[in-house]
Structure 1
Amino acid sequence: MATRTRPSGWTVLAALLMIFGGIMTVLEGIAALVHDHVFVATRDYFFSFSLTGWGWIHLILGIVIFLAGCALFGGAVWARMVGVTLAALGALANFLWIPHAPFWAIVLLAINITIIWALCTGDRRRVK
């Protein structure tokens, strides 16, 4: 049986950041797919995918992060675990994206790390 409680302030913060971060990641993916000439093409980068490949990765990951952020408002425990996993994947993807769009990637990296922190430290209520 899944445990549902009213989400605490940290969980609500994480959900809002996941929704915002998911939307920004989707926009990042769309920009890489449609306007790939905007991004810097780095040579000899160890994690070199085509910008179209990065665009699809960010687009799909952003949609899933957005949906998981919406699920967090229900207070389900599974949504917290999925949220931490997706935020970690988002942080990794944005870390690898730094050579293409440094500022945008670092901002989204910070948002994903904040999501992980908020989901791991939130909801520490004492049962009386």
Structure 2
Amino acid sequence: MNSLEMTSIAKELLKKSGYPIIRDSNKSKNLLELLNVYPNYGVGLKVVPDHWVKKGILESYYEVTKVAPKLKNTNHGKAFGIKVWKGKILYKGKPMRISGTLKWNWYRWPIMKTRIDS
């Protein structure tokens, strides 16, 4: 058995295990779905909505400073962060509520082109 066969067998076993990180890794995610798999709900991560990348807006992202998930459904809630727009920190670095957390698909920044194309 070669390493490629072993990898595909391992992937199948992990998919069947029910771990959401493995099972949903290629699925489009709203911001809270993306953040809730990281320690401390992803505070400190840089994230970007896919529509910014599709429009060619580069060097723009939010740095997550606070996440307030809902108690009954952690895939919903509020997120706050520092907005960086085209390389410049906005609002003097004051954290603001991140809009569109449920509306758009979100990715970690820096974004790789292959993630948006699929």
TM-score normalised over the length of structure 2: 0.25
Considering fraction of residues, name the structure with more helix: 1
TM-score normalised over the length of structure 1: 0.24
